[in-house]
């Protein structure tokens, strides 16, 4: 093998090595920005690509995944002159690798500074209470402003979140005292409402009990009155029947007077100490005694 053949083989090997070293495989969710002689040439997406040796180069490898930028707390001043520390989290995604590569130098630092200035502008128009209760509004405003501002950089801002809002220590203490007072007030209201409800239920129970007692007493009186009326009716019926039987028997005057005497005796019921008897009945009594004496003889 002569020297020319060896040189040719060496040249072929060198060419193969150079070709292999210039083969690029672009992974999923990545993009390669390619320059030719210092100028932008193209953007490689997923797949295998061959770079022209010594002429083309990979200027930047860009991730197309959604990324998270957690910025340190920033001092901001509210409309009522309260200084707070707020740290922001920005979720963004690169949509144009070319703009991201050539649109701005150090895009992450630019996003951080832009987020800080935007946050200061928004918080400066709000008071402390509004800042603490309007996170969604602040997040929405910041996302819209940042998305519009980063559009020329090939970046899309998907979400912006205020992770922490830290007021000064004295304001935190005042807020804790206010919350404690509010909890105690609610507790007192609930306790008073419970006592009121218990008193109402107790009064309603006493009322219903009194109504039931009165109704029971009323029913008892009605039953007693009905019993007395029924007893009187039976007595009157019995008396009427007795009179009827007596009338049917055609009694003599002597019998009638004896029945009257029995009636007076029954009226006394063993309790009267003195009974006034009419003269006719007295005569009848004397006659009855005479008959009894004659019978004994």
Q: Which two tokens stand for residue 278?
A: 């009419």
Counted domains in the chain = 3
Same domain, 22 and 72: no
Could you tell me if residue 9 is inside a domain?
Answer: yes
Same domain, yes or no: 40 and 81? no
The string of DSSP codes covering 241-271 is HHHHHHHHH---HHHHHHHHHHHHHHHHTTT
Domain interval for residue 86: 66-167
CATH of the domain at 159: 3.30.479.30
Based on the domain organization, do 162 and 71 belong to the same domain?
Answer: yes
Last residue of a domain, one of 167, 202, 222: 167
Q: Is residue 238 domain-resident? A: no
49 and 138, same domain (yes or no):
no
User: In which band, very low, low, confident or very high, does the pLDDT at 288 lie, cut at 50, 70 and 90?
Assistant: very low
Flag whether 38 is in a domain.
yes
Question: Is the pTM here over 0.75, yes or no?
Answer: no
| CA–CA distance, 172 with 170 (Å, rounded to integer) | 5
Is 243 domain-assigned?
A: no
Q: Are residues 19 and 72 in the same domain?
A: no
Inter-CA distances, 227 with 217, 218, 223, 231, Å: 15, 14, 6, 6
Nearest to 73 by CA among 171, 168, 173, 166: 166
Cβ distance 123 to 84 under 8 Å? Answer: yes
Q: What is the pLDDT of residues 125-171, one digit of tens each?
A: 888 888 888 888 999 999 999 999 999 999 999 999 988 888 878 77
Please indicate, yes or no, if residue 122 is contained in any of the structural domains: yes
pLDDT digit string (tens) for 267-278?
555 555 555 555
Q: What is the pLDDT of residues 53-80, one digit of tens each?
A: 889 999 999 999 999 998 888 888 888 8
């Amino acid at each position: 093998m002569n020297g020319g053949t060896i040189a040719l083989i060496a040249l072929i090997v060198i060419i193969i090595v150079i070709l292999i070293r210039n083969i690029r495989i672009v992974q999923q969710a990545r993009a390669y920005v390619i320059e030719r002689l210092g100028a932008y040439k193209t953007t490689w997406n997923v797949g295998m690509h061959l770079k022209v040796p010594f002429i083309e180069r990979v200027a930047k490898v860009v991730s197309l995944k959604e990324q998270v930028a957690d910025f340190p707390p920033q001092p901001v001043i509210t409309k009522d002159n309260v200084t707070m520390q707020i740290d922001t989290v920005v979720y963004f995604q690169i949509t144009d690798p070319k703009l991201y590569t050539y649109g701005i130098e150090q895009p992450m630092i630019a996003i951080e500074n832009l987020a800080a200035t935007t946050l200061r502008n928004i918080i400066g128009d709000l008071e402390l209470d509004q800042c603490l209760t309007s996170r969604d509004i602040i997040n929405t405003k910041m996302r819209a402003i940042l998305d519009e501002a980063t559009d020329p950089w090939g970046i899309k801002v998907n979400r912006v979140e205020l992770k922490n809002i830290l007021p000064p220590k004295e304001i935190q203490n005042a807020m804790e005292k206010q919350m404690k007072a509010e909890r105690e007030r609610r507790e007192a209201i609930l306790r008073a409402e419970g006592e009121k409800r218990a008193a109402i239920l107790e009064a309603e129970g006493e009322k219903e009990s009194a109504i039931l007692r009165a109704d029971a007493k009323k029913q008892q009186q009605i039953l007693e009155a009905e019993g007395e009326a029924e007893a009187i009716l039976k007595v009157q019926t019995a008396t009427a029947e007795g009179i009827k039987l007596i009338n049917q028997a055609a009694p003599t005057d002597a019998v009638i007077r004896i029945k009257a005497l029995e009636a007076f005796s029954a009226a006394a019921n063993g309790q009267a100490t003195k009974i006034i008897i009419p003269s006719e009945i007295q005569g009848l009594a004397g006659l009855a005694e005479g008959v009894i004496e004659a019978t004994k003889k």
